A and B are shown apart, each in its own frame.
Chain A
Amino acid sequence: MHRIIKRKLLRSARISSLYIIVAGIGFIIIFPMFFLFSFSFMSDYETYSEWPKPLVPSFRAEFMIDKDAEGYHLHIYNKADGAFAAFGPLFFTRAGEDLENLQKFIKRQANCAITPSGIGEQLDVVDKEGRVEFTLKKEFLANYILFFQVTRDAPAAVMRSLMVAGFTILISLSIGGMAGYAFARYYFKGKNLLKLSVLFVRMFPAVTIAIPMIIILARMGLADQPLGLSFVYSVGQISMNIWITASVFMAIPVSFEEAAMIFGTNRVGAFWHITLPLALPGLAACAMYSFIGSWNEVISAVVLTQFNPTFPVVVYKSLVGTQGQINLVTAGSVAQALPAIIFTLIIRKYILQMWGGVRV
C-alpha cells in the first residue's frame, strides 16, 4: 500500500516538475511578446510615467481638475503611485486656446478624446465644488493610427512589403517546387550533391552578400524596387522550398501518377490531376515559410532599399530614429507581426504535411 502511494507521489512530482520547467520555458518565450503587445496599447503617460509598468494596458484614464489662485490644474491618476499626479501645464485658464492645447495634450499623452467644451463642462463643476474627478475612455488603437500617421511612409511600405512577399512566393515556389519535383521523381548523376549544394546559398549571412547584390540589382535596374528585393529573398527561399517540396512530392507515391498515366492522361495531366491536389497543403505551408521569411526580413532590406523601404525597415527606422516612442514602435511591430501570425494560423493544419505526410 505504502509503495503504491510512494510511487504515485513520485510520479506526480516528476510530472509537476516537468510542467514547471515547460511552463518556465514557455514564459520566457511568451513574456517579451506579451509585453510588446501590451505596450502597443499604452498611452505615452503609461509608458513613460508609471513605474513599475502595468502588465495590462488600461482601458480608461482618470483625471482630476482642481483650482487655486493661479488657475486650474489638471491631474491624472498614476496607477503605480496610487495617487493623482500633476499632468500637463502648470495651470490653465478658461481661454479657448488653453482648452484646445489641453485637448491636444490629453489626446497625445493619455490617448483620450475630450472636446474643449467637454473640458469647459468639467470646469463648471470645479467652479461649483472646487474639484472634479472624471474618467475618459481610452482610444484603444490610438498608437496604431498614430504610427501610420507619424511614419508617413508606412501604408505604402505595407503595400511594398506585400508585393515583395507575393513575388517571393511566386518565384521561389514555382522554381523551388519544380526543382523539388525533379529531385523527388527523377534519378540523375550528382543528385544528392546538387541537392546539398542548393543549401550553400543559405550558409552566407544576408549582410555579406548584400553589397554584391545591390550592384547586380542596380545593373538590372531593379535596385530599390520590390521585385529586385524579392529576387534576393528568392535565392534563399528557393533552396528551402526545394527541400520542403521534395519531401512533399516524395511522400506521394509514384504509382498515383503512373495510374493516372495509364487511365487516360499524360505526365503533365497526372501532375495536375493527382500530384498537385495532393501536394497542395504542403505547398501552402511552403508558401507560408516564404511569406514569413520575406515579410519579416529586415537586414537585407535596410541595405537594399533607399527611397522605397519595406514595412519592417520602416518599423526598424522608427525604433532607432530620434523621435522613437516605444509605444508607437511596439504598435508598428505588432502591426508587422500580425499578417504573419494570421497567415500561420490559417495554414497551421498543413504544416505537418509539409514534412511529407499525405493526409488522406
Chain B
Amino acid sequence: MATLQLIDLAKRFTKKVWGVRKMDLEVADKEFIVLLGPSGCGKTTTMRMIAGLENVTRGTILLDDRDITDIAPRNRHVSMVFQNYAVWPHMTVFDNIAFSLKLAKLPHDVIKRRVRETADMVRIGELLKRLPGQLSGGQQQRVALARALAVKPKVFLLDEPLSNLDAKLRVNMRTEMKAIHQQTEATSIFVTHDQSEAMSMADRIVIMKDGKIVQIGTPDDVYFRSADMFVAGFIGTPPANFFKVLCSYDSGGIVLKHTHFKLEIDAEKYDKLKEYNRKEIILGVRPEDLLIASEDKAVFSEQILVIEPQGSHQVVALSFEGSIVKMVIPAGIKLNHGDKIGLDFNRERLHFFDKETEKRIILRQHLV
C-alpha cells in the first residue's frame, strides 16, 4: 500500500564527490524495483537516503505523498536488509526478529505470533532459539529477511542481500525472495550490481551510472531496447558486441561498412538511419544474434579464440580487430578453438547507437 517518489534527489559527499547527482523515480505500489549499476554508481547511496541513513543534499523523498526527507529512520516505515546481514550477534534469532516489535511495545502474544509467522515464511521457524553465530550465512540472511518483514514496512529495502552467498544459494534465494515478495506484496527496492539477478527479479530495473539514472524499464526494455551503449554493454551475459560502422544510403538501400565487412540492411525497416548517411554509427549486436553461417553467406569470418561450454549453450569468443566478440550458440555444435567460422547477423535485431552521444538511435519501428 505504498508509493515512493524520489524527486530531484542528490547527495554530495565532499565538494567534488557526488554520490547521487540527480535521481527522479516513481515506484508504484507493490512494485519490485531493482537499482542496478556498477560499483560507485550511487545505487546504495540512493537506498540509504530512502532509509534515512544518509542525509539528503538536495531533493525530496515522498512516501505515500508524505515528505519523509528529514524524518528519522525509525519513523519512516521502511525496513532494510543489509549486505552483511547486520544480524545482531548477541541476540537470539527470536530477539533479532522481535527487536522492532518490542520497541513498538506490542503485546507479548502479538510479538510471538508475528515472529513465528515471519520466521515460518522464510523457513527458519526451528532456529528461533539459536544465536546468529550458530547459523550459516544463508540462515543469517533469512533472519535478516524475517526481521525486515516482521515490521510490515511500507517499503522494503534490500541492499545487495545476495552478494555474500555462494552461487547456488544465491540463485535459490532469488526465487524465494521473489516468491516472498509476491506473498507480502510490499513495495520493494533491491540494489545489486549483478545484472542477471536484476533481470530475474525486477518488475522494473533502474540502471544507474555516475550518480544518474541511465534507463528505467522492464527487463525486456533494458535488454531489447537498451537506452545507450552503457546499458547494452552492461546487461546480458555476455553483453552486447559493438562494431563501428559507416552508414551509407543510396537508392539500393542502406549499407553499413566496417573495415572487415559490409552489411546490407533493409532500408524500409531502418528508415531512421538515412539521417546518418555518410556518418559513423555504432552497431550493437547481442551474442545470440550472431549466427554461424556457411562460407558463402557469411558477413565475415574469424578464428575461434575460446569456447566456454555452459551446458545449455556455449559461449564462443572471437578475437576481432583487437577486441573480443562473443556469441552464444546451441550446445550441440562441435567446435574447436582455432576453427575458422563464418558469421552472420540476425538482421531483425540490430541495435544502433549514435557515435557521439552513445545514445540509442530510436528507429520508427520497435524490434522485439
Tell me the complex Cα distance, A37–B133, Å.
43
Contact of A262 among B79, B89, B90, B132 (CB under 8 A): B79
Contact of B86 among A253, A266, A277 (CB under 8 A): A253
Does chain A have a CB within 8 A of B304? no
A255 contacts B90, C-beta separation under 8 Å: no
In the bound complex, residues from chain B placing their C-beta under 8 Å from that of A262 are 51-53, 73-74, 76, 78-80
A263 contacts B53, C-beta separation under 8 Å: no
- Please, which residue of chain A has its CB at the minimum distance from the CB of B150? A263
- Minimum distance in angstroms from A59 CB to a CB of chain B: 48
- Assuming the contacts A262-B78, A263-B151, A266-B72, asked whether A360 and B86 have C-beta atoms less than 8 A apart, the reply is no
B86 contacts A259, C-beta separation under 8 Å: yes
Contact of B84 among A255, A261, A264, A265 (CB under 8 A): A255
- Please, which residue of chain A has its CB at the minimum distance from the CB of B102? A264
Tell me the complex Cα distance, A262–B84, Å.
15
Scan residues 64-83 of chain B and give those whose CB is less than 8 A from a CB of chain A.
72-74, 76, 78-80, 82-83
Tell me the complex Cα distance, A264–B80, Å.
12
B86 contacts A256, C-beta separation under 8 Å: yes
Q: How many residue pairs, one in A and one in B, have C-beta atoms under 8 Å apart?
A: 66
- Minimum distance in angstroms from A357 CB to a CB of chain B: 12
B89 contacts A278, C-beta separation under 8 Å: yes
B131 contacts A360, C-beta separation under 8 Å: yes
Contact of A264 among B51, B53, B103 (CB under 8 A): B103
Tell me the complex Cα distance, A265–B75, Å.
9
B90 contacts A278, C-beta separation under 8 Å: yes
A263 contacts B84, C-beta separation under 8 Å: no
Most buried by B among A256, A262, A266, A274: A262
Scan residues 234-283 of chain A and give those whose CB is less than 8 A from a CB of chain B.
253, 255-256, 258-266, 269, 273-274, 277-278
Does chain A have a CB within 8 A of B110? no
Tell me the complex Cα distance, A266–B103, Å.
11
In the bound complex, residues from chain B placing their C-beta under 8 Å from that of A256 are 86, 88
Tell me the complex Cα distance, A69–B87, Å.
91
B133 contacts A263, C-beta separation under 8 Å: no
Does chain A have a CB within 8 A of B99? yes
In the bound complex, residues from chain B placing their C-beta under 8 Å from that of A277 are 90
A255 contacts B73, C-beta separation under 8 Å: no
B88 contacts A274, C-beta separation under 8 Å: yes
Does chain B have a CB within 8 A of A358? yes
- Minimum distance in angstroms from A119 CB to a CB of chain B: 65
- Assuming the contacts A263-B147, A278-B90, asked whether A360 and B133 have C-beta atoms less than 8 A apart, the reply is yes
- Assuming the contacts A264-B103, A265-B103, asked whether A259 and B82 have C-beta atoms less than 8 A apart, the reply is yes
In the bound complex, residues from chain B placing their C-beta under 8 Å from that of A259 are 80, 82, 86, 88, 147
- Minimum distance in angstroms from A251 CB to a CB of chain B: 11
In the bound complex, residues from chain A placing their C-beta under 8 Å from that of B301 are none
Tell me the complex Cα distance, A63–B104, Å.
78
- Please, which residue of chain A has its CB at the minimum distance from the CB of B76? A262
Tell me the complex Cα distance, A274–B88, Å.
7
Size of B's binding interface in residues, CB under 8 A: 26
A24-37 interface bits toward B, Cβ cutoff 8 Å, 1 = contact, 0 = none = 00000000000000
Tell me the complex Cα distance, A182–B131, Å.
29
In the bound complex, residues from chain B placing their C-beta under 8 Å from that of A360 are 89-90, 131-133
In the bound complex, residues from chain A placing their C-beta under 8 Å from that of B84 are 253, 255
- Please, which residue of chain B has its CB at the minimum distance from the CB of A280? B90
In the bound complex, residues from chain A placing their C-beta under 8 Å from that of B73 are 258, 261-262
In the bound complex, residues from chain B placing their C-beta under 8 Å from that of A260 are 88, 99
Does chain A have a CB within 8 A of B100? yes
Tell me the complex Cα distance, A59–B69, Å.
78
- Assuming the contacts A255-B82, A255-B84, A360-B131, asked whether A264 and B89 have C-beta atoms less than 8 A apart, the reply is no
- Please, which residue of chain A has its CB at the minimum distance from the CB of B147? A263
- Assuming the contacts A259-B88, A360-B131, asked whether A264 and B82 have C-beta atoms less than 8 A apart, the reply is no
In the bound complex, residues from chain A placing their C-beta under 8 Å from that of B133 are 360
- Assuming the contacts A360-B131, A360-B132, asked whether A261 and B74 have C-beta atoms less than 8 A apart, the reply is yes
- Minimum distance in angstroms from B81 CB to a CB of chain A: 9
- Please, which residue of chain A has its CB at the minimum distance from the CB of B85? A255
- Please, which residue of chain B has its CB at the minimum distance from the CB of A274? B88
- Minimum distance in angstroms from B142 CB to a CB of chain A: 15
- Assuming the contacts A262-B52, A263-B74, A265-B103, asked whether A358 and B82 have C-beta atoms less than 8 A apart, the reply is no
- Minimum distance in angstroms from A272 CB to a CB of chain B: 12
Tell me the complex Cα distance, A278–B79, Å.
23
A-B contact pairs, 14 of them (CB 8 A): A253-B84, A253-B86, A255-B82, A256-B86, A261-B53, A262-B51, A262-B53, A263-B99, A263-B151, A264-B99, A264-B103, A264-B151, A265-B103, A360-B89
Binding site for A on B (CB under 8 A): 51-53, 72-74, 76, 78-80, 82-84, 86, 88-90, 99-100, 103-104, 131-133, 147, 151
Binding site for B on A (CB under 8 A): 253, 255-256, 258-266, 269, 273-274, 277-278, 358, 360
Give 8 closest A-B pairs by Cβ, nearest first. Answer: A360-B133, A264-B103, A263-B100, A360-B89, A255-B86, A259-B86, A264-B100, A255-B82
